[in-house]
Amino acid sequence: MKKILAFAMAAAMTLSLAACGGGSGADSSNKGGASNPPVVSGSQGGTSAGASDPAGFTTVEPGKLHMSTNAEFPPYEMLDDSGVPIGIDVEVAGAIAQKLGLELVVDDMGFDAALLAVQNGQSDIAMAGITVSEDRLAKMDFTDSYATGVQVVIVKEGSDITMDNLGEKMIGTQMGTTGYIYASDTVENGGYGEDHVIGYETGAVAVQALISGQVDAVIIDNLPAQSYVEANAAAGLTILEGTWVEEDYAIGLQKGNTDLMAAVNGALNELKADGTFQGIVDKYITAD
Ligand code: GLN
Rounded Cα–Cα distance for residues 246 and 222 (Å): 10
Higher pLDDT, 255 or 29: 255
pLDDT digits (tens, 9 = 90+) for 11-28: 333 444 433 333 333 333
- Ligand 1 center–CA 151 separation, angstroms: 9
198 and 223 Cβ atoms separated by less than 8 Å: no
- The pLDDT of residue 13 is 39
Residue 33 backbone class (left: φ over 0; alpha: ψ -120 to 50; beta: rest): left
Residues near 18 by beta carbon (within 8 Å), at least 6 away in sequence: 25, 27, 28, 30, 33, 35, 36, 39, 94, 103, 104
* Res 229 pLDDT > 90: yes
Pocket of ligand 1 (CB under 6 A): 70, 73, 111, 128-131, 149, 174, 177-178, 221
The confidence score (pLDDT) of residue 3 equals 32
Could you give the CA distance from residue 107 to residue 16 in angstroms, rounded to a whole number?
8
The answer on pLDDT for 29 being more than 60 is no
The 10s digit of each residue's pLDDT in 71-96 is: 999 999 999 999 999 999 999 999 99
CA 128 – ligand 1 centroid, Å: 7
* Distance (Å) of CA 23 to CA 7, 93, 158, 162, 241: 35, 12, 42, 42, 35
pLDDT at 55 (0 to 100): 72
**Spatial distance between the Cα atoms of 175 and 288, rounded to a whole number of angstroms:** 30
Tell me how crowded residue 60 is: count the other CB atoms within 10 A of its CB.
19
Q: What is the pLDDT of residues 99-129, one digit of tens each?
A: 999 999 999 999 999 999 999 999 999 999 9
What does the angle CA 87 – CA 199 – CA 225 come to, to the nearest 5 degrees? 40
Query: Which is nearest to 154 in space by CA: 69, 82, 211, 77?
Result: 211
Estimate to the nearest angstrom the gap between the alpha carbon of 171 and the chain centroid: 21
Res. 5 pLDDT band, cuts 50 70 90? very low
Mutate to test the pocket of ligand 1, among 174, 218, 219 (most ligand atoms within 8 A of CB): 174
Mean pLDDT of 264-287: 95
pTM, two decimals, is 0.81
In degrees and rounded to multiples of 5, residue 68 shows phi and psi of -90, 140
Mutation test residue for ligand 1: of 177, 200, 223, 243, the one with most atoms within 8 Å of CB: 177
8 Å CB contact between 108 and 69: yes
Pairing of strands 171-174, 197-200: parallel
pLDDT band at 33 (very low <50, low <70, confident <90, very high): very low
CA dist., res. 199 & res. 64, Å (int):
33
Are 239 and 249 contacting, i.e. CB atoms less than 8 angstroms apart? no
